[in-house]
Structure 1
Amino acid sequence: MYTVIVIDDSASMRRILKDMINSIDEFEVIEEAVDAFDAREKIKKYEPDLVTIDINMPKMDGVVFLRNLMRLHAMPAVVISGESVRGNDIFDDGAVGFIPKPETGESMISFGKRIKETLLNLTFLLKRYTLKKPKPQVEIKRKSAGNEDKYGVEKRIHPDEVLVKRPCTFPGRKIIAIGSSTGGVEALIKVFSKLRANLPPIVITQHIPYGFSNSFAQRLNNTSEIEVCEAKDGMILQSSHAYLAPGNMHMSVIRSGQNYKIQLLDTVRVSRHKPSVDILFRSVNNEIGGGAMAVMMTGMGDDGSIGMKELYDNGAYTIAQDEASCVVFGMPAKAIEAGAVKDVVSLDEIADYIIEFSQGKRR
């Protein structure tokens, strides 16, 4: 049984959500909160497995509360809100799900089905979830030194400020780098279910909240013929293996003798993210250059477009997921606009393109 705290300033909506969630066999609402401060105390007291958060709340905006929650007390959070436009951004702030509140004319039965479907799809994360308090992040200290503007919005850090661009030092080897964000969890599962053994090493940066990357890597591993794991600092990259960036660290690739290994970086957010696709792509370009393949998949924002353009200019093979198959056509669109993409392909085709690249059929 997964325990839930519902956070919403509307008493009637709290009652509706409580009844709907309690009707799902694997879930139980153990408390309700009327605002962020009420929620903070109840989360500390009850340590729920999941919280639902409304965006429009008194005293503290739901998005601000979500960001603070992910920074100070990371845990699964689903946003349930009527603000669908703002709601699309909450995945980048750490939410694992978004459910729009019912629109005019929608039945409560339909709304209940959407809630049930979303929560049941999250059980793979909840099964392995154990609450971990993340260590203080470097960027929290640096914000006071100018990492935020006067409105408290984090400035974009260019990858040059974290990882220096330099010529490729070890050309001729193959590696596949993948970047994704909103919608990427299910998209990656679909791709990895079609991959076969005997592939070059694969490195993945998916924007994912702290504490969830290990369980997601295990899920990918269970669906694929190749071995998938959460990346650890110093790991030597091996063929037919894939490495997923941890949810609170940048991942880069560096040369180690005649091999490549993982280097994790606990630094500021880059392109507004940590882990950042730009950091991964920049490092792959530094070490492999034209021997690499870069894949940009569904996601919001522009993370990865800088690093992908450098790879493209260096002769790497680059593809982007097409708009029709993306949950959010943001990151792929920005990479295409930057002139960083050779081929635009559907989600169903990505695995085939990766396999063909490994066989030397695509350059």
Structure 2
Amino acid sequence: MYTVLVIDDSPSMRRILKDMINSIEEFEVVADAMDAYDAREKIKQYEPDLVTIDINMPKMDGVTFLRNLMRLHPMPAVVVSGESVRGNDIFDDGAVGFIPKPENGESMAHFQERIKDTLLNLTFLLKRYTLKKPKPLKPVAKTASTEIEYKIHPDEVIKSFPATFPGGKLIAIGSSTGGVESLLKVFRRLPANLPPIVITQHIPYGFSSSFAQRLNANSDLHVHEAKEGMILEYGHAYLAPGNMHLSIEKRRDGKYVTRLLDTKKVSHHKPSVDVLFRSVNNSAGGGAMAVMMTGMGDDGTIAMKELHDNGAYTVAQNKESCVVFGMPAKAIEANAVKDIIHLDEIADYIVEFAKGRRR
């Protein structure tokens, strides 16, 4: 049984969330809190496995509380908030999930289903957390940066090389939990003139745009949130929007074009890595490289196996460097992976593939 603390300044919303979460097998709300200061005491008292956090709260907003929580007592946190949260990159601040509050006449039954899907998808992470639950830490002085572990000196960026490569190359990356910071670490080291890169990161609608902007600001590559009909170019990367499947199509002139699909979830996700990888297999086949990075579940496994069997170069992040060794583990188990590599090696392997040195 996973214990939950609900944090929201609305008594009615606390009651709704408590009833909905308690109806999910393996989850129990042990307490609720009306603001960040109340939550701080309840966390000390109950030591829950998971907290849900509203953003718009009195005394201390949810984003500030989330940052303090990750600094002083890191634990799984899901943001449950309204449309005003969009633009706050809560995943960068440590959240493992985001559930928009109901709006525009959404039924409570549909809202409950979204809560259930999100929490059940987190059980793999919660299992790891509860096995080694940290003890509450005493407050410490705020450090100059919360990203020290991921900072890379500019001199470590891989040196660029001529823009002419063997034709038809395409690089596809799939990631989920832990992928935001892991992708940033990879992209900080990539040179400018690489073959096109396409990315599916499990991320809610409203956050993919700001994440694409952050990748762009921290990389020599030009990173975009993908839009319908974009022609893929060398030196550019394209991130799937948070509410659409990203697929790739090869035109008669040989150019790759993005296609956005507003269909049902695939492998429990939208966007889905399986959708992206299968389209890359159909368009680039053996000329592609597929990278499976940190994340829970098995999204991407089926299509990565198809890529592998079609002669594409497939790699998976190793267990030691993953936040959650779920998606890479499933791909490895399916014999869909040629090389298993550390997060720190992914950028190097992408460059070597682009140069024709890895297949």
- Give the drift of 1:241: 0.3
Distance 2:63 2:300 in 1: 38
Aligned to 1:314: 310
Closer, same or farther in 2 for the Cα pair 1:117/1:89, shift >3 Å? farther
Q: Does 1:195 align with 2:211?
A: no
Evaluate the alpha carbon distance shift between residue 47 and residue 265 of structure 1 in structure 2; reply closer, same or farther with a 3 A threshold.
closer
Q: Counterparts of 1:104 and 1:334 in 2: how far apart (Å)?
A: 28
Which residue of structure 1 lines up, in the alignment, with residue 136 of structure 2? 106
- Determine helix, strand or coil for the equivalent of 1:209: coil
1:249 paired residue among 244, 248, 261: 244
**Residue in structure 2 matching 1:328, options 324, 327, 348:** 324
* Matched-pair identity in %: 55
Matches within 5 A, 1:261-300: 261-300=257-296
SS in 2 for 1:179: strand
Post-superposition offset of 1:255: 1.5
Match of 1:231 in 2: 226
Q: Is the 8 A contact 1:289 1:311 kept in 2?
A: yes
Letter in 1 for 2:275: I
The aligned residue for residue 16 of structure 1 is 38
Q: Is 2:174 the partner of 1:179?
A: yes
Cα pair distance change 1:347/1:88, threshold 3 Å: farther
Report the TM-score when normalising by structure 2: 0.63
CA gap 1:72/1:241 in 2 versus in 1, 3 angstroms: farther
TM-score normalised to structure 1 length: 0.63
Kindly indicate whether the alpha-carbon contact (under 8 Å) linking 2:33 and 2:39 is maintained by their aligned counterparts in 1.
no
State whether structure 2 residue 357 is matched by structure 1 residue 356. no
1:109 Cα deviation after fit: 2.9
SS of structure 1 residue aligned to 2:242? coil
Change (3 A) 1:24 1:317: same
Per-residue CA deviation, residues 282-335 of structure 1 (Å, 9 max, x unaligned), is 000001100000000000000000010000000000000000000000000000
RMSD: 4.3
CA contact (8 A) 1:70 1:209 kept: no
Rounded to whole Å, the distance in 2 between the matches of 1:287 and 1:252 is 10
- Please give the secondary structure, in 2, of the residue aligned with 1:109: coil
User: 3-state DSSP class of the match of 1:303?
Assistant: coil
Instruction: Determine if contact 1:320/1:344 at 8 Å carries over to the other structure.
Output: yes
Match of 2:156 in 1: none
Secondary structure of the corresponding residue to residue 336 of structure 1? helix
Amino acid aligned to 1:362 = R
Residue 28 and residue 180 in structure 1: after superposition, are their counterparts in 2 closer, same or farther (change >3 A)? closer
Q: Deviations over 1:18-70 (max 9, x none)?
A: 799957998489xxxxxxxxx99xx67x95677x9xxxxxxxxxx9x965638
State the partner residue of 2:215. Answer: 220
Query: Structure 2: which amino acid aligns with 1:335?
Result: A
Equivalent residue letter for 2:136 = E
Q: Contact 2:36/2:60 (CA < 8 Å) preserved in 1?
A: no
Q: How many residues align?
A: 267
Counterpart amino acid of residue 227 in structure 1: H
